[in-house]
Structure 1
Amino acid sequence: MFELELDMYQAAGVAAVMFWIGSWAVKKSSFLSKYCIPAPLVGGLLFALVNTVLNATGIMTISLDTTLQNILMNVFFTTIGFSASITLIKKGGKQILFILLLSVVVLTVQNGIGSGIASLFGIDPRLGLAVGSISLMGGPGTAAAFGAVMESPVYGVQGASAVGLAAATFGLVSGSILGGPIMRRRLNQLSLSEKAVTKEEVEEMKAPTMIKTNMNNFVSAAMLLALALGSGVVLSKIMAASGITFPDYMGALVMGAVIRNVVEAIGRHHYPNEEMEICGEASLSLFLAMALMGLKLWVLANLALPIMVILIAQVAFMFLFSYYVIFKLLGKNYESAVQTAGFIGYAMGSMSNAMANMQAITKKYGIAPTAYLAIPIGGMISDFFNAVVITGFLNFFTG
């Protein structure tokens, strides 16, 4: 069989093309746009399907150099580390801290459900983690990143990428289906009304968000990323020498958090928040497209039943916990309903789903300023804790 080998530059070029194809498909498909399915996921999956067909028919197979993919993965994790800002937590007050604590509880339970049910089916409990917070609270990007880590020689969990990305796709859809309808039912049952807001808050919510960037800020963001990546490798090696399994991405993630808070504490330089987010989004888009392109889809056939059982259990847990616990803990009012809908969105899929869920409610009932502050910041910082907890679970089951 003829084998076409793409080096890291060619793989990146093809990934960019698949990203554009995915973007076009999302714009044309009401289903894909409604459920916030990422463009690189669509394009990368299309490539994987074509490659699977070519391989199965004996025509040819396409292999990819994953060197650049691994670099992009580490950059993505580093930007997650930079999101852990103590200043932001203080700015949002107790509500953000509460959202963050709930996130840690939920992601821990998600991993317990995934690994527990996987063990009952007699499969590697670490593979169950791929149907836990890796794919749900983390979303497609984290699923692809940790899938690559789990399939590395350090852990040797084969099929983690395919399982994680399949679960992440399911989570994107189920998170959208659950969020709005569940909380609208709560609002109708309790006859809750719109929270009183000021005219200034109304105008602020209506005003479009303008991202102001410049060349100097992008250079600063790149330098901070480089510093975190370099010092992160050193930190990982120090931890590994002490006998603790500490992958390279964790070192960069931790150093990203440290550097972010040092820069903000010193206060002499403006932290390039928007530019760092753009760098993270760009690296994630290319990385996710490349990760999907290299998927071995046939792995899913033998794991279909365990995956579906775990996902059904995850949806049941999310419904019960959000409907009976989160909504009540957040205050049993209009703001708590909007926040809970957003929480479901990012706990099962992504922040895009969270914002879509909240928008579906606020369009009908009125705006919720606290929710639009607490959910994005709390959800963003939860990614940092998610990576830490996942690493803990992996090390526990790896021994």
Structure 2
Amino acid sequence: MQFSAMETLMVALLVLGAGQWIVHKVDLLARLNMPEPVVGGLLATIVVTLMQVSGISLTFDESIKTPAMLFFFGAVGLAADFRLLRRGGWAMLLFAVLVIVLVALQDLVGVMMAKLMGLDAWYGLIGGSVTMTGGHGTGAAWAGVFERDFGLTGVSELAAASATFGLIFGALLGGPLAMFLIRRYRLAAPAHGAAVEDVEHDEAETPRPISAASVIRILMLLSVGVVVGAVAAEEFASVFRLPTFVWVLFVCIVLGNTARRLWQVNDATIDVVGNTALGIFLAITLMSLQLLQLVDLALPMLAMLLVQVGLALAFITLVTFRLMGRNYDSAVLCAGHCGFAMGATPTAVANIQAVTQHHGPSPLAFIIVPVVGGFIVDIANATIIQTFVSVLSG
């Protein structure tokens, strides 16, 4: 059964509604800070998988997914105040270093596990940062390289299955981890988020109701940011390649701070538009997952991935949380780090969004996680993978 773009959007919205209802009704899910799109999306994944087992094949049109993701990151950029970006400088640098260290550890542990279990070392990279940090896109790209240059077979399917495994665990564990840290250390959200209490805030600004005019204004800025960011990603690809959403994020940061000087920007509208776009993206992504691919995972690869999950949780809990300050914002950052260390940046942002909705705002986390998760992680991951490939093939 083939769903058109409009039919896919309809199903995605139904999935989001189901996720909201389930989290609202099941107190345990709310207390674990489970993202509503993830809950609904995983339920849809299970239903779709059961239908596939019964011989009913469902295919969704994913053409809406990328625009939704770009609109979400554009909304993050519009909401970013340059004052908060300046304040996040040293924290962002430290967090980036921690992220890079974990990426390197993932590949090191993956290669060691592969050799201990008698597998080719390349499978250690597939079960390492290629799919755990890189996700489906990076996994597909490197699988093609391994198949073409090193003669491996079935790597594409294995990479897709591993990335699916990581995405599920990254989405499921981020919120509960942050909740554990918040309760264990009795943390609370500061008035304006950690490290930004001395930023000057306009006391005259009061929340303004969302209106059609404010929605149109935000959609206008987002549309410009998405188009300009996509063009920049294509034009500068030969100089240095960055994901399109990173370009969109940076362009919208400039647009948002410029717009704030020209007219009033309704942050509540940005939040609603961005959250809606993120929910649609995650719903389509999760309901399109092929869980049956996980059945094809050999036991050694499954063991390797479980070790990677344990490594990520241990590092984030014992190192990231402690070095980032052992405060509320560091707990929220841990939820984000869990998301893109085992899944993707949108999952990371969904994790911190779920945490802050229940425990209070963390402006610093909403600046650091998208920038580090989108910009620095991709560059660092590609560099580290290429280093391992060079060493192993040399």
TM-score, scaled relative to structure 2: 0.73
How far off is 1:80 after superposition?
A: 3.3
Partner residue, 2:165: 163
How far off is 1:61 after superposition?
A: 0.7
How far off is 1:210 after superposition?
A: 5.1
How far off is 1:17 after superposition?
A: 0.9
CA distance in structure 1 between the aligned counterparts of 2:31 and 2:160, rounded to whole angstroms = 32
Secondary structure of the residue that 1:240 maps to in structure 2?
coil
Partner residue, 1:227: 224
Pick one of 210, 213, 236 that aligns with 2:233. Answer: 236
CA distance in structure 2 between the aligned counterparts of 1:40 and 1:160, rounded to whole angstroms = 21
Partner residue, 1:363: none
Superposed CA deviations along residues 243-276 of structure 1, whole A, max 9, x for unmatched, are x333433332232223233334xx1222343322
Partner residue, 1:29: 26
Pair 1:74 & 2:64 matched = no
Partner residue, 1:384: 371
How far off is 1:72 after superposition?
A: 1.2
Secondary structure of the residue that 1:344 maps to in structure 2?
helix
How far off is 1:63 after superposition?
A: 0.5
TM-score, scaled relative to structure 1: 0.72
Partner residue, 1:175: 177
How far off is 1:50 after superposition?
A: 1.8
Secondary structure of the residue that 1:232 maps to in structure 2?
helix
Secondary structure of the residue that 1:241 maps to in structure 2?
coil
CA distance in structure 2 between the aligned counterparts of 1:132 and 1:175, rounded to whole angstroms = 18
Partner residue, 1:206: none
How far off is 1:16 after superposition?
A: 0.9
Pair 1:105 & 2:105 matched = no
How far off is 1:25 after superposition?
A: 1.3
Superposed CA deviations along residues 121-153 of structure 1, whole A, max 9, x for unmatched, are 34263663377567xxxxxxxxxxx53575479
Cα RMSD of the aligned pairs, angstroms, is: 3.3
Pick one of 312, 317, 320 that aligns with 1:319. Answer: 317
Distance 1:150 1:71, change over 3 A: farther
Pair 1:348 & 2:346 matched = no
Gaps of 5+ in 1: 135-145, 188-194, 196-200, 202-208, 331-335, 360-371
Contact 1:19 1:285 survives alignment (8 Å): yes
How far off is 1:38 after superposition?
A: 1.7
Gaps of 5+ in 2: 115-120, 145-155, 191-196, 198-205, 340-350, 390-394
Q: Report the residue type matching 2:84 in the other structure.
A: L
Task: Say how many residue pairs are matched.
Answer: 334
How far off is 1:388 after superposition?
A: 0.3
Distance 1:103 1:233, change over 3 A: same
Distance 1:319 1:246, change over 3 A: closer
Contact 2:33 2:179 survives alignment (8 Å): no
How far off is 1:283 after superposition?
A: 0.7
Contact 1:83 1:380 survives alignment (8 Å): no
Secondary structure of the residue that 2:64 maps to in structure 1?
helix
Partner residue, 1:309: 307
Q: Report the residue type matching 1:386 in the other structure.
A: G
CA distance in structure 2 between the aligned counterparts of 1:127 and 1:261, rounded to whole angstroms = 41
CA distance in structure 2 between the aligned counterparts of 1:337 and 1:394, rounded to whole angstroms = 28
Correspondence list, 1:245-324, <5 A: 245-264=241-260, 267-301=261-295, 302=297, 303-322=301-320, 324=322
CA distance in structure 2 between the aligned counterparts of 1:270 and 1:124, rounded to whole angstroms = 51
How far off is 1:322 after superposition?
A: 4.8
Pair 1:147 & 2:136 matched = yes
CA distance in structure 2 between the aligned counterparts of 1:124 and 1:81, rounded to whole angstroms = 36
CA distance in structure 2 between the aligned counterparts of 1:317 and 1:100, rounded to whole angstroms = 18
Pair 1:19 & 2:19 matched = no
CA distance in structure 2 between the aligned counterparts of 1:232 and 1:124, rounded to whole angstroms = 35
How far off is 1:376 after superposition?
A: 2.8
Percentage identity across aligned positions? 19
